[in-house]
Amino acid sequence: MSDKQSETKTVLPGHETQTEEMNCPSCGRFVGAKNKCPYCGARVTKRMSLVAIRWAAVLLATVGMACLWAMAKYKTMPLVKIGDLQATMNFAQIRLDGTAQTDARTFRNGGMGFNIADGTGSLQVFISQKQAAELQKTGRVPRAGDKVQMAGSVSLSDKDASIRLQSVDSFVLERAPARTMKLGDVAEDLKGDTVVVEGLVTDFTAPPAGSKKPYSLKLRDDTGERTVTFWQTEYDQIKEKDTLMGSRVRMRIAVSTYKGKLQLKLTDGLSVEPVTAEEAGALDAAAAAAPAAKAPARDFSRGKAVRESVYQDIGGITKDMKGKTVRVKGRVASVKEPEEGSNRPTEVVLRSEDGKKALTVKYWAKTAEVIKDLPKPGYLFDITGEVDVFKGRVSLKVGSGYNIKLVSDAPPSGPAVDVSLAEPVNGLGPDRKGEAVVLVGTLGADHALQGGAKYPLTDAAGDTVEVVFWEGRVPADLLNRLDEGMKVAVRGTVGIYNGAVNVTADSGYSVMPLD
Amino acid sequence: MASFWIVLLSVTAGTLVYSVFSCLPGLHVYNVMGLLVLAILGLEAKGIAVPPEVFIPMMTGMIVNWSMVNTIPSVLLGTPDESALFTVLPGQKYLMVGRGYEGTMITAVGSLAGAFFLVCVVAPFAPKYLPVSQEALKGHMHWVLWIIITFILMSEWPKGGNRGRAGWAKFWDAWGSLLAGVCTFVLAGLMGFILLNRSPVSHEVAFQNIMPAFVGLFAVPWCLLNIISAADVPPQRTTDSLDIDGDIILRSVWSGGLGGGFAAYMPIVTGGVGGLLAGHACAQREERIFVMGQGVSKFVYYVGAFMFLFVPGLNLSRGGGAWMVKTLYTPASTADYLMIVGSIAVSAALSFLMISPLAKLTLRLIDKFNYRHVSSVALAIIVVMVFAMTGWVGLFIAAVGTGVGLLPVLFGSRRLNCLGILLLPIACNMSGFGETIAGWLGLN
């Protein structure tokens, strides 16, 4: 039969040299590895090797896949230190064991993010919408200070590093121990802290349907009464919500301020638990036995006690004070973070309230881990540290993150920019590069930059110059307020970019809306 | 001015040096770029920083050169990458009638047309329009991916079942290849879930954890088939003219640009998928348009995806090349974008001029050495490379991938189904149930 076919088949040009099994015995076309002609459907007999390889491939694919699956299933993900991450580890699936540096933020898409640090570096964690909902449901939304163990896929670029949570199953959260406090002791100086309070629920108000207001619950103990607020998510988590009114409960709250007023927010509904009569009695007895005064604060200054309780003048710190522990108060002018993996410290430039004197404050990653509110440009900080002199320059070395405290995130009360110093835009030229100037004008359409924005500023005479605002230097709240058509006063430095003169806004509250 | 010469030298060096690698069948540019990234990081660890003005134009030259010159092994050695899927049959037809050189050059003209399309049409408008479209489309990518998957699976057609005995035998005859296609897609998808959730590859070289699978799915099966198949290449002739005209070029740019552009812009979608969709959308039936269109598509897909990383305001990471560069450098300004566009133009011109002599040289090599031997050498290089980067585990993954990659080839379905390795897990992840499936598989 095969001989007959080969006698009658039509061999196409160029196919004469092919072995029989490469061409169709019926139509003569090239069929390659196929055993059925794709043109006429005729069977093409192959050598045994090719038929065998077909089933060998099936075997390899299925058995191999099963082995690969088993290998992956029982593989333990490596525990990696953040500081050891390298560019070649992009997309690596790893485990992290660290501390949440920030509270989890909810994104507009419903996902979440927070920063994690393990002593060798920090990384941003992304949580998908579904995972975030699951974490909320199970009361595992991380807050600053909580211990976190997680697994995820790393994404690294030369500027950013992040990790995407792989599964909520692998997310282990150990809440940072919170102090139990009396309601009357909860004050604004605890802003950012999480504490446990307990008391009698005297009132409980649900928001009206369709309202955007939160739930509110009034809690009373022997020191006073406070209102605790929370949202639907937390409400859903509360186990015995029907018996809440009139019961004595314990809950975990986050202390914050809203419109200048103290606000107590329930961290999660799962933390609301009833207090038994015995517990309440024991607690009251303990409270009665304990002195009314607060326990002395732990000394985190690592043996270097603060010798002066008053603030040292920033300009008054000199080289001969080397080794002394001083306490200063000033506004953050700029924050320079070290490069990823670097052992260099974070450098914060602190300016006196009048803006005339500056001091560099240095702290290392280990210290940064426990800072409640990280220094940001424009914010007022109270910092205690040791005077250091390096290469002839005086700086303040901070050994404990507890010695860096936010005093105020509000802008300075006086005008940030002295409008009387304003000068016309047409007076700016390349010869003035590096000079400090004050301009007054109207902002044009913004142009987003990586890490900032630039606006054309047109003064009263109609002359325009580009003004650059960097996120690391100008407070974010101020930057977000800027808009096209807004009249502003800007304090900045003249520079040249691509041959054109521009002005880079100074650190801090260097732009002042005039409308 | 110094920067200009540095960039020019780097892109020229990248293009010229890589032209040798581009002629090797089955050796993907991203694999070699991975080695380059390792070398750059190694130098940086020793305190020798390689400036971006050197490595970015060099990598651009490599990608451009590969997407053009790799036509030579695709057509003449029958070892195409996935995105050149459709050139296999028409390309092989050219080869089997002694017109392999012509087939290569027609595809090369398509690549050159793709370069013009990218540099002169896409590049000037991309910074203005692509960021806007990205903003508008980014919430819709998941369902687009599902539609693509559906189309890939449903557009596979029964090959057979017309003759023979009725009953199961005929049913199997008709549906065998379809079943093989679906099995390939599912197996590749399963492999993707494993590698994206718990890759056995060491975390220290995780940036290459998909590479062994891709090598197994696409490169090794073709090398193996070339080695074991008994096909002989008939004598080839070269020619000074090509059977094409302006109309064919324009129609090729239309279909290839659309397919390649779509693939470059959409996540996970590759040139092969883009080509499949554009082929149906544009309904161009002419064989020469098909061959040339794939040249356009491949260029626009690989080079365009790389270019999008540098588009101001867009900075889209598509394709392995962009992801690798991102670990070394984040594009910051319009100057970077102009550098890339310029580098693409220079490299495309150089690469095109090199294709003809390189194709002739390859034909001479095929004459001299049996191309099965060339495929054996290529296979050896690939295996060594996979081992060097990912070790025994990588080789094992490549072997499993080979098993899956051989299924469509041996059972007569589309190799495109192998792309289930990325399409399935990523579509599931984007739709929000990837974690659940990974949980079912015990991979969380």
Q: For A260-288, how does the pLDDT look when each residue is reduced to its tens digit (9 = 90+)?
A: 788 898 887 878 888 876 666 555 554 44
Quick one: what percent of chain B has pLDDT higher than 70? 93
Q: Measured between CB atoms, does A69 come within 8 Å of chain B?
A: yes
Q: How confident is the model at residue A500 (pLDDT cuts 50, 70, 90)?
A: confident
Shortest Cα distance from B350 to chain A (angstroms)?
31
- Residues A26-70: tens digit of each pLDDT: 887 777 667 777 778 787 776 555 667 778 888 989 999 999 899
How far apart CA B61 and CA B345 sit, in angstroms, is: 10
How far apart CA A166 and CA B196 sit, in angstroms, is: 10
Give me the pLDDT at residue A79, please: 92
Enumerate the residues of chain A whose CB falls inside 8 A of the CB of residue B332: 450
DSSP string for residues in A427-438: G--GGGTT-EEE
Give the nearest chain B residue to A79 (CA atoms): B203
Q: Measured between CB atoms, does A170 come within 8 Å of chain B?
A: yes
**Greater model confidence, A4 or B74:** B74
Give me the pLDDT at residue B286, please: 75
Quick one: what percent of chain A has pLDDT higher than 70? 84
Shortest Cα distance from A109 to chain B (angstroms)?
10
3 state SS of B26? coil
- Residues A129-174: tens digit of each pLDDT: 888 888 888 878 888 788 999 999 998 877 678 999 988 888 998 8
Inform me whether the pLDDT recorded for A340 exceeds 80.
Answer: no
Enumerate the residues of chain A whose CB falls inside 8 A of the CB of residue B159: 36, 38
- For the residues B254-267, what does the mean pLDDT come to? 88
Q: Measured between CB atoms, does B24 come within 8 Å of chain A?
A: no
- For the residues A76-88, what does the mean pLDDT come to? 87
Give the nearest chain B residue to A64 (CA atoms): B400
Task: Select from B203, B205, B217, B309 the residue whose CB has the most chain A CBs within 10 Å, as the one to mutate to test that interface.
Answer: B203
> Smallest Cβ distance to B206: which of A47, A92, A168?
A92
Q: Measured between CB atoms, does B141 come within 8 Å of chain A?
A: no
- For the residues B99-112, what does the mean pLDDT come to? 90
The tokens of B386 are what? 């996979």
The tokens of A286 are what? 């303990």
Give the nearest chain A residue to B439 (CA atoms): A167
Give me the pLDDT at residue B193, please: 94
How far apart CA A92 and CA B400 sit, in angstroms, is: 21
Q: How confident is the model at residue A19 (pLDDT cuts 50, 70, 90)?
A: low
Q: If you average pLDDT over every residue of chain A, what do you get? A: 79
- Residues A173-219: tens digit of each pLDDT: 888 777 788 888 888 888 777 888 888 888 887 777 667 788 888 88
Owner of token pair 């296609």:
B181
How far apart CA A102 and CA A231 sit, in angstroms, is: 20
Give the nearest chain A residue to B230 (CA atoms): A19
- For the residues B217-245, what does the mean pLDDT come to? 78
Q: How confident is the model at residue A309 (pLDDT cuts 50, 70, 90)?
A: very low
Q: Measured between CB atoms, does B179 come within 8 Å of chain A?
A: no
**Greater model confidence, A436 or B60:** B60
Give me the pLDDT at residue B77, please: 75
Give me the pLDDT at residue A14, please: 57
CB B263 within 8 A of CB B297: yes
- A300 contact partners, CB below 8 Å, separation of at least 6: A370, A400, A401, A402, A403
How far apart CA A132 and CA B267 sit, in angstroms, is: 24
CB B421 within 8 A of CB B210: yes
How far apart CA A469 and CA A506 sit, in angstroms, is: 8
Give me the pLDDT at residue A16, please: 61
Q: Which amino acid is at A342?
A: S
Closest by Cα among A379, A391, A386 to A508: A379
Instruction: Decide if B199 and A57 are in contact by the 8 Å CB cutoff.
Output: no
Instruction: Decide if A90 and B206 are in contact by the 8 Å CB cutoff.
Output: yes
Q: How confident is the model at residue B163 (pLDDT cuts 50, 70, 90)?
A: low
> Smallest Cβ distance to B206: which of A50, A91, A157?
A91
In sequence order, what are the beta bridge partners of A331? A351, A380
The tokens of A375 are what? 């220094």
- For the residues B325-329, what does the mean pLDDT come to? 85
- For the residues A408-425, what does the mean pLDDT come to? 73
Instruction: Decide if B97 and A170 are in contact by the 8 Å CB cutoff.
Output: no
> Smallest Cβ distance to B204: which of A58, A60, A88?
A88
Instruction: Decide if A68 and B96 are in contact by the 8 Å CB cutoff.
Output: no
- For the residues A332-355, what does the mean pLDDT come to? 80
How far apart CA B296 and CA B257 sit, in angstroms, is: 6
Q: How confident is the model at residue B89 (pLDDT cuts 50, 70, 90)?
A: low
The domains of chain A, with CATH numbers, are 82-174 (2.40.50.1010), 179-289 (2.40.50.140), 314-408 (2.40.50.140), 419-513 (2.40.50.140)
Give the nearest chain A residue to B176 (CA atoms): A36
How far apart CA B270 and CA B420 sit, in angstroms, is: 11
> Smallest Cβ distance to B406: which of A32, A57, A128?
A57
Q: Which amino acid is at A512?
A: M
Residues 270-309 of B with CB under 8 A from A: none
Q: Measured between CB atoms, does B406 come within 8 Å of chain A?
A: yes
Task: Lowest mean pLDDT of A448-457, B64-73, B158-167, name the range.
Answer: B158-167
CB B221 within 8 A of CB B382: no
Instruction: Decide if A88 and B329 are in contact by the 8 Å CB cutoff.
Output: no
Q: Measured between CB atoms, does A54 come within 8 Å of chain B?
A: yes
Give me the pLDDT at residue B315, please: 82
> Smallest Cβ distance to B38: which of A47, A88, A90?
A88
Inform me whether the pLDDT recorded for A292 exceeds 70.
Answer: no
Q: How confident is the model at residue B60 (pLDDT cuts 50, 70, 90)?
A: very high
Shortest Cα distance from A505 to chain B (angstroms)?
20
Enumerate the residues of chain A whose CB falls inside 8 A of the CB of residue B199: 72, 93
- For the residues B266-287, what does the mean pLDDT come to? 79
> Smallest Cβ distance to B203: which of A73, A92, A157?
A92
Inform me whether the pLDDT recorded for B42 exceeds 70.
Answer: yes
Q: How confident is the model at residue B80 (pLDDT cuts 50, 70, 90)?
A: very low
Output the 3-class SS for B167-228: CHHHHHHHHHHHHHHHHHHHHHHHHHHHHHHHCCCCHHHHHHCCHHHHHHHHHHHHHHHHHH
Q: Which helix (H) or strand (E) holds A162?
A: strand A161-165
Query: Can you give the residue ranges of every domain in chain B?
Result: 2-440
- Residues B380-416: tens digit of each pLDDT: 988 998 998 899 999 999 999 999 998 888 887 888 8
User: Would you say the C-alpha torsion A313, A319, A324, A325 has a positive or negative sign?
Assistant: positive
Give me the pLDDT at residue B363, please: 86
Instruction: Decide if A86 and B38 are in contact by the 8 Å CB cutoff.
Output: no
Instruction: Decide if B92 and A30 are in contact by the 8 Å CB cutoff.
Output: yes
- B300 contact partners, CB below 8 Å, separation of at least 6: B114, B117, B118, B122, B256, B257, B259, B260, B261, B264
Instruction: Decide if A53 and B406 are in contact by the 8 Å CB cutoff.
Output: yes
Cβ neighbours, 10 Å, residue A191: 16
- A438 contact partners, CB below 8 Å, separation of at least 6: A417, A418, A419, A421, A422, A423, A489, A490, A491
Instruction: Decide if A88 and B206 are in contact by the 8 Å CB cutoff.
Output: yes
CB A107 within 8 A of CB A71: no
Inform me whether the pLDDT recorded for B81 exceeds 50.
Answer: no
User: What share of residues in chain B are helix, strand, coil (percent, to 5)?
Assistant: 80, 0, 20
Shortest Cα distance from B377 to chain A (angstroms)?
21
Q: Measured between CB atoms, does A130 come within 8 Å of chain B?
A: yes
Model's pTM, two decimal places? Answer: 0.63
Q: How confident is the model at residue A17 (pLDDT cuts 50, 70, 90)?
A: low
Inform me whether the pLDDT recorded for B424 exceeds 90.
Answer: yes
Output the 3-class SS for B247-304: HHHHHHHHHHHHHHHHHHHCCCCCHHHHHHHHHHHHCCCCHHHHHHHHHHHHHHHHHH
Q: Measured between CB atoms, does A86 come within 8 Å of chain B?
A: yes
Q: How confident is the model at residue A338 (pLDDT cuts 50, 70, 90)?
A: confident
- For the residues B19-24, what does the mean pLDDT come to? 87
CB A82 within 8 A of CB A137: no
DSSP code for A79:
B
Shortest Cα distance from A435 to chain B (angstroms)?
25
Q: Which of A424-433, B5-14, B274-283 has the highest mean pLDDT?
A: B5-14
- Residues A472-483: tens digit of each pLDDT: 777 777 787 888
Interaxial angle between packed helices B100-116 and B88-96, expressed in degrees from 0 to 180 and rounded to the nearest 10: 140
- The number of CA neighbours under 13 Å toward the Cβ of A93 is 20
* Angle (nearest 5°) at CA B204 between B199 and B210: 40
**Greater model confidence, B245 or B299:** B299
Give the nearest chain B residue to A156 (CA atoms): B327
CB pairs under 8 A between A and B: 186
